[in-house]
Chains A and B, each alone.
Chain A
Amino acid sequence: GENVEQHPSTLSVQEGDSAVIKCTYSDSASNYFPWYKQELGKGPQLIIDIRSNVGEKKDQRIAVTLNKTAKHFSLHITETQPEDSAVYFCAGSSDSRLTFGEGTQLTVNP
């Protein structure tokens, strides 16, 4: 089955700085990689996703890159704001099920 590893587990940045979260996956058959943001007491919210036939995707301050050969993908958040503070999860989709990384607690300090 799929195994997704995520780093770092915690990340603290100053407001306005960039934040990068990295994930690796094991199943070469995985073809869909979403990122979720989870705020305290709430459900995961889909913020961006990428498919295996695309190398990069951007949506305003958020971008995701995928290196299929190396089996890793990354989330980039630019111009961070305090409201970006949350837990971020990467996931890989294999056999129609999502396997999640362990999460990154991002703290943006004003």
Chain B
Amino acid sequence: NAGVMQNPRHLVRRRGQEARLRCSPMKGHSHVYWYRQLPEEGLKFMVYLQKENIIDESGMPKERFSAEFPKEGPSILRIQQVVRGDSAAYFCASSPSVDTEAFFGQGTRLTVV
């Protein structure tokens, strides 16, 4: 049973470009969470999704950021018109139900130049 798969592992974007981060949850997991980690800081919650539904997006910036978890395929975190402050590690986690073990992927390290 493969773990949570994130790709790409590293992503470099110029200011103003779009970044698309992908997350495939563990098999059987229908709950997906996205977190952002700035250098030498903790993990900050961004968004919680179930299949085709956004459950909680209270941690997402109001502009430029969006997330989806379609019926088929991976969850996507999309950042439009990236700025240098978006540079961070973005982690996806999945769980089989609420308030249970959440397993993290290896993250996508976004660098905006």
What residues make up the interface of A, taking CB atoms closer than 8 Å to B? 1, 31-32, 34, 36, 42-46, 49, 89, 93, 95-103
Contact = CB atoms under 8 A, between A and B. Distances in A.
Interface stretch (B12-20, B65-73, B75-83, B102-110): B102-110
Interface of A: prevailing SS: strand
26 contacts: A1-B58, A31-B99, A32-B99, A42-B107, A43-B6, A43-B91, A43-B104, A43-B105, A44-B43, A44-B91, A46-B101, A46-B102, A46-B104, A49-B101, A89-B42, A89-B43, A95-B56, A96-B31, A96-B48, A96-B99, A97-B33, A97-B45, A97-B48, A100-B44, A102-B42, A103-B42
Contacts of A49: 101
B42 A34 contact: no
Interface residues of B, number: 27
A45 B105 CA distance: 9
B63 interface: no
Interface of B: 4, 6, 31, 33, 35, 41-45, 48, 55-56, 58-59, 91, 93, 98-107
A93 B43 contact: no
Contact of B33 (A32, A89, A98, A103): A98
